Structure 1
Amino acid sequence: MTTPLPDTVDVLLVGLGPVGAAAANLLGRYGVRTLAIDKASDVFTMPRAIALDNEALRILQLAGLEEGAFATHAIAKVQMHSPLFGRYARANTAGEQDGHPRLVTFYQPELERTLRARLALYSCVQTVLDTELVDYTETADGVSATLRQADGALATVRARYLVGVDGASSPVRQRTGLGFDGQTFSEDWLVVDAIGVPDPIDHVEFICDPRRPTPHMVAPGDRQRWEFKLAPGETREQMERPEKIRELLAPWCDIDQVTIERTAVYRFHARIVERFSRGRVFLAGDAAHITPPFVGQGLVAGLRDAANLCWKLAWVVHGRAASSILDSYDTERRPHAKSIIQLALLMGRLVMPRNRLGALCVHGTMALLQRVPFTRPWFQDLKIKPANSFRCGLFQPGRGRARLVRGGLLPQGLVRSATHAACLPSDEVLGLNLSLIGFGCDAQAALAPELRARWQRAGGHVVQLRHRGQHAAPAGSWEDMTDCLVPGAAPVGWVAVVRPDRTVLHDGPLDQLDNIVRESLALLGAAT
């Protein structure tokens, strides 16, 4: 039967892959009336993304997924092997950052089902499957979209904003007319997921043999994944035959002892749209950018899109900010997404040199750089990875004297209060709000009453963090048990305005508090 659709919503979300489902959960948590559609009737089960970093896990935390909501496997190291130099490079990924493992593998269908199931918690979000976007027209105050449901029936839905999270072939992007520039690798890759491999590895390895480069990794559910580069002349049909898979897996296992769960041949792409938005239409995830898989950042980049865009849509829809803040989505996200694509392309060249001479030069240089103290951290400690910090966008220009970076992320630590003896992640204390944080000081008491009222109307609240053991702290303050916030991020007597996506909007000393709040409200275009 045809599912009744609403006549009007705030946001029409097209696409319910992992990025779309995360965005729908974020919009639901922000109380935005959302219609989320997908042309498929179930999650896509073929092998796709497999890696998430600590930033992605933190965004999923923001979307409402608690630790353990879906299975992950923490990765302690990533190694590169060469037939000429042996193990010539290594990245250390053990430990945690901002309360999450630095690198995990996961099973994408489980994550997608978990995110979709959570949407039932939000009465403001309606999910409709087997439904596709036929066309849309943009008006001065919204978008009028024509949708086709499973039985062929057409319906019209009006939305204030349209978000296309509908994959690499995005119909939404095609209808915007935005260019999708980049390159397509001439090579194809066979992806094999197997279950029950004897003596499984516990890390990620890249076999950088120019004859057949092969990334290999462990994943939850007793899974292992291999990605085999196709040689010239090899076809999809040849590579997916059982006897060929047996041959490829022979160095690691006997195919008769394992279960081959999924196989697929993909051609990798590196593309980015010329703008992440046009008018009232926004693009996110693979609809906006496609990243080769060599640094495991494709899905991560899409989740960054969702975190950046959804709170801005919510603040505009709820009248807390001017619609002009939506322009900062493209300003902030596109440069960083482009830098991640460039890193993936670089890593691809390191993984798959075209011949032994190229391997000798590339892998020899890498091996040498790993031995030089100055360059070693760029690879071993992942300093080569671009920081998720904006050069320009929705934050006050300049830099304070604290370690905080305007346009960068606030660290997450563990905090506790007099009424909460158990430690909580600090993001849970900040919640879904625009936050004014006093580091070892009471910003609530110091803020002028008129500004306090304006701050609350703009969706802001005030949090006091105190350093461990600080005396005479008022009720309701939170003690930093990890020192990563006070004094790690800012000294006592400092204040900061932090956006709902945990980006620092403004900061400075307490005696400049009123100006900091005024300037922050001006950036938001908040009504007086």
Structure 2
Amino acid sequence: MNTTLPEQVDVLLVGLGPVGAAAANLLGRYGVRTLAIDKATDIFTAPRAIVLDNEALRILQMAGLEEGAFDTLAIAKVQMHSPLFGRYARANTAGTMDCHPRLVTFYQPDLERALRARLSRYPCVSIALGADLTGFDDDGEAVRATVRLPGGDTAAVRARYIVGADGANSFVRRHAGLAFEGKTFTQDWLVVDALNVPNPIDHVEFLCDPRRPTPHMVAPGGRQRWEFMLQPGETREQMESPDKIRELLAPWCKPEDITIERTAVYRFHARIVDRFSRGRAFLVGDAAHITPPFVGQGLVAGLRDVANLCWKLAWVVQGRATPAILDTYDTERRPHARSIINLALLMGRLVMPRNRLAAFAVHGAMALMQRMPWARAFFEDLKIKPPARFRRGLFQRGKTRARLVRGGLLPQGLVRRGPGAPIVPSDDALGARLVLAGFGCDPAPLLDRSLQAAWRQAGGAIVQLRHCGQGEHGPQDGHSWEDMSDHLVPGAAPVGWIAVVRPDRTVLHDGPLEALDDIVREALAMLGADSPLPEGLPRTLQAAG
């Protein structure tokens, strides 16, 4: 990372909150010349987002954050309580998925500090704090932007692409003319963050009383958070007064026994842009979508955005793929982001019923469903959450005989090079690369030489994933890893199977080893990369539609 303002970059990144900082780290890992600007001179130190899931933690791992880079607290369960029916619903969030806890709480300023500190490793990333984007033009070949510097001077920056991570009031979105569709809730909420609360809870709970709905959760550092819905006629000033806060917290503690870290009144929004990009401008995070907080997916959705977009930008600017793959960012991300917003709206109806009659109907129905095993499992096992799987996009459509899902994520397991070697998460072994993975088999010596050269030119690597106890055959050149968890072989695919895995860990293509050359050739065609294609096979983005 350097603080010199370059005149020309591959990507101009506007906004350096947690989503922007994660994007900057990913672009840095991919070696993309990036200028990241933020009009603030430092991070915002008040806590805001508080929940991450296993998928978000996996993306932060991709961005280079090591375990322990910021404090998290694993949450084993989420409970919903009704004054009429008691505990009427429960979600089991204990355990791990893809080597990460299924649900954690965290302190956002710590995450932002960790992400910014990590940027010091990347000389290709420049940072300008206190710098404000005042305008940009897209001439079809590049973006020409004007940046106001801290002293008041302006600077011109030419970038191949611009990414708006500049929040709900995004200048990039407005300047690009992208509509922000959705609605604002009429209810205001008071958030109270406190330290040193006696008798801390170990879970997340929603107290779904129509008189005063109240989510309540615990976080690292001895923190707890309450969110109290304002009733008609209550004002911000009334709710933030010490006497009112004392009254609200009385069921749990005495305010004089704790430290109030923050109080704030805010209003929920549910909005999404009509497109995630226009020309050479792209939106991520709150600039593209705002999710009500009832499922804790607001920041998670932004991290999904940057995981999807950044590798595509890198492959395009480095000449490894055609610019047409950038169209799949909107194709893949917008439907999933909308489904998360819809889930949050549904959960909002459960949390804040309009009146006692609505609470009786909704909570009673939920309590009744808990008596049905299939319905209880749907909620308890989080099957209600939209899967991390695309309907359309940059992958070969169609089903296969393996457990892998094209357009879905490759599971993460624990691997090692051999006996006595360190055991690491498999994403770390795959690296920030496009990967051709062989499950219990080694594709490298079998792949046509010309295809192998084209694969390397497209930024591809070849990795063998051995089942536990399987010996390593052939040259020990570091491309072979032993699966110590059975999550990959045979958990994800049988011995003798191969898969093309994108840098964001999405399965692009897969099939039996016998189809190796065809699978690689088709993957290269989808990227638009140069490859020795058989006559008659078009170089088009075949699966994007």
Select the residue among 504, 509, 528 that pairs with 1:525: 528
- Residue of structure 1 in register with 2:539 after alignment: none
SS in 1 for 2:373: coil
TM-score, length basis structure 2? 0.95
SS in 2 for 1:422: coil
Post-superposition offset of 1:154: 0.8
Q: Once structures 1 and 2 are overlaid, which stretch shifts more, 49-58 or 37-46?
A: 37-46
Map residues 271-350 of structure 1 onto 2, 5 A cutoff: 271-350=271-350
Post-superposition offset of 1:527: 2.3
SS in 2 for 1:314: helix
Q: Which amino acid aligns with 1:115?
A: L
Matched, 1:261 2:264: no
SS in 2 for 1:271: strand
Q: Which amino acid aligns with 1:439?
A: F
Cα distance in 1 for partners of 2:346, 2:441 equals 46
CA deviations on 1:24-48 (whole Å, 9 max, x unpaired) are 0000010000000001111122331
Cα distance in 1 for partners of 2:374, 2:75 equals 25
Cα distance in 2 for partners of 1:107, 1:472 equals 43
- Residue of structure 1 in register with 2:14 after alignment: 14
SS in 1 for 2:221: coil
Post-superposition offset of 1:452: 0.5
Cα distance in 2 for partners of 1:196, 1:425 equals 35
Cα distance in 1 for partners of 2:317, 2:222 equals 44
- Residue of structure 2 in register with 1:455 after alignment: 455
- Residue of structure 2 in register with 1:489 after alignment: 492
Q: Which amino acid aligns with 2:500?
A: V
Post-superposition offset of 1:141: 1.3
TM-score, length basis structure 1? 0.99
The answer to whether the 8 Å contact 1:46/1:264 transfers is no
Post-superposition offset of 1:80: 0.5
- Residue of structure 1 in register with 2:149 after alignment: 149
The answer to whether the 8 Å contact 1:47/1:264 transfers is no
- Residue of structure 1 in register with 2:432 after alignment: 432
Cα distance in 2 for partners of 1:37, 1:234 equals 39
SS in 1 for 2:421: strand
SS in 1 for 2:382: coil
Q: Which amino acid aligns with 1:487?
A: P
CA deviations on 1:234-265 (whole Å, 9 max, x unpaired) are 11111111111111111000000000001111
The answer to whether the 8 Å contact 1:79/1:87 transfers is yes
Cα distance in 2 for partners of 1:407, 1:326 equals 16
- Residue of structure 1 in register with 2:505 after alignment: 502
Select the residue among 499, 518, 523 that pairs with 1:515: 518
Q: Which amino acid aligns with 2:91?
A: A
Q: Once structures 1 and 2 are overlaid, which stretch shifts more, 358-367 or 41-50?
A: 41-50
Post-superposition offset of 1:472: 5.6
- Residue of structure 1 in register with 2:535 after alignment: none
Post-superposition offset of 1:422: 2.1
CA deviations on 1:133-192 (whole Å, 9 max, x unpaired) are 100001121100001111111111000000000000001101011110001000000000
- Residue of structure 2 in register with 1:100 after alignment: 100
Cα distance in 2 for partners of 1:368, 1:260 equals 39
Q: Which amino acid aligns with 1:482?
A: S
Cα distance in 2 for partners of 1:401, 1:159 equals 44
Cα distance in 2 for partners of 1:79, 1:241 equals 29
Kindly tell me: are residues 472 and 145 of structure 1, through their superposed partners in 2, closer, same or farther at Cα, counting changes over 3 Å? Answer: closer
Map residues 137-286 of structure 1 onto 2, 5 A cutoff: 137-286=137-286
Cα distance in 2 for partners of 1:527, 1:134 equals 39
Q: Once structures 1 and 2 are overlaid, which stretch shifts more, 211-220 or 374-383?
A: 374-383
Q: Once structures 1 and 2 are overlaid, which stretch shifts more, 188-197 or 366-375?
A: 366-375
The answer to whether the 8 Å contact 2:5/2:127 transfers is no
CA deviations on 1:271-320 (whole Å, 9 max, x unpaired) are 00000000000000000000000000000000000000000000001110
- Residue of structure 1 in register with 2:536 after alignment: none
- Residue of structure 1 in register with 2:483 after alignment: 480
- Residue of structure 1 in register with 2:540 after alignment: none
Cα distance in 2 for partners of 1:255, 1:57 equals 33
Cα distance in 2 for partners of 1:4, 1:400 equals 50
SS in 1 for 2:234: coil
Post-superposition offset of 1:4: 4.6
Cα distance in 2 for partners of 1:94, 1:490 equals 26
Q: Which amino acid aligns with 1:522?
A: A
Matched, 1:446 2:433: no
SS in 2 for 1:442: coil
Q: Which amino acid aligns with 2:505?
A: R
Kindly tell me: are residues 39 and 320 of structure 1, through their superposed partners in 2, closer, same or farther at Cα, counting changes over 3 Å? Answer: same
Q: Calculate the aligned-residue CA RMSD, in Å.
A: 0.9
Post-superposition offset of 1:469: 1.7
Post-superposition offset of 1:522: 0.3
SS in 1 for 2:88: strand
Show structure 2 runs of 5+ residues with no match. 532-545
The answer to whether the 8 Å contact 1:47/1:191 transfers is no
